[in-house]
Amino acid sequence: MPDYLDDLRLAHVLADAADAATTDRFKALDLKVETKPDMTPVTEADKAAEELIRGQLQRARPRDAILGEEYGVEGTGPRRWVIDPIDGTKNYVRGVPVWATLIALMEAGEGGFQPVVGVVSAPALGRRWWAAKGHGAFTGRSLTKASPLQVSRVSKLSDASFAYSSLSGWEEQGRLDGFLDLTREVWRTRAYGDFWPYMMVAEGSVDMCAEPELSLWDMAATGIIVTEAGGSFTGLDGRPGPHSGNAAASNGLLHDELLGYLNQRY
């Protein structure tokens, strides 16, 4: 079984380069912002960070395919890097420090491509999280200055902290009633949004989170970090991994109840 540690080290090098590029333009008064066809914003920093990562990957891993949010898929083969140059672009545009570069390596296997390496780097928060298949999940400033991640052991909804991004998507899918029922049962709810609640699940400060609509690049890196920290990461349909177009993550002990509420009236 490959150990993926060389790929993990490369992912950190890519994240370092992206951090420098995105931090340099954060809160810039002349930041250029465009609207994509799906009506979501994209900045010059999104594009620059993805171009930077793609360029380094083409030199370091020329046989690997690349899938990025801004420039699509390039190449074929059993290994594919999946990139979200800035997860949380709306925060980035408004000067909110909750945004991150998400870098994952996926390999072909049973059930399609599955994540084997993930790095989530949030330079404005001064945080980074990562994982490699079979090696656990960690957080720290670098590979050598790291602490292991472990999900919580909370086993009752009445003691659980539940994080989400917004209400609108749940309403659009007809899942709002179940979502609201869940919020009434838990100890605490907070809308942190984007990558952050998944990292909180991995480090045990939040017990579960979910989002009704996501893309592969939103989930590939976060998913393996949650699972390597001992948690569960599935679609709302219960299928493991990042392929369902939505996500539910938990410490594992609460996962069935989480899915039950989010699907109860759907």
Output the pLDDT for position 167: 87
User: What's the mean pLDDT when you consider all of the chain?
Assistant: 92
pLDDT band at 30 (very low <50, low <70, confident <90, very high): low
Residue scoring higher pLDDT (32 or 177): 177
Contacts of 45-52 with C-beta under 8 Å, sequence gap 24+, read 45/21, 45/85, 45/86, 45/92, 46/70, 46/85, 46/86, 46/89, 47/85, 48/21, 48/85, 49/18, 49/21, 49/22, 49/85, 49/86, 49/101, 50/83, 50/85, 52/17, 52/18, 52/21
Output the pLDDT for position 48: 87
Structure tokens belonging to residue 123: 């330079």
Mean pLDDT calculated for residue range 235-239:
96
Quote the CA–CA distance of 224 and 168 in Å, as a whole number. Answer: 27
Output the pLDDT for position 118: 98
Output the pLDDT for position 36: 64
- Poorest-confidence range of 28-37, 130-139, 157-166, 196-205? 28-37
pLDDT band at 29 (very low <50, low <70, confident <90, very high): low
The torsion region of residue 112 among left (phi > 0), alpha (psi -120 to 50) and beta comes to left
Backbone angles phi, psi at 167, to 5 degrees: -95, -25
pLDDT band at 114 (very low <50, low <70, confident <90, very high): very high
Output the pLDDT for position 8: 97
Per-residue pLDDT tens over the stretch 175-200:
999 999 999 999 999 999 899 999 99
3-state secondary structure 149-186: CCCCCCCCHHHCEEECCCCHHHHHCCCHHHHHHHHHHC
Output the pLDDT for position 1: 61
Question: Is it the case that residue 103 has pLDDT exceeding 90?
Answer: yes
- Poorest-confidence range of 27-36, 145-154, 170-179, 192-201? 27-36
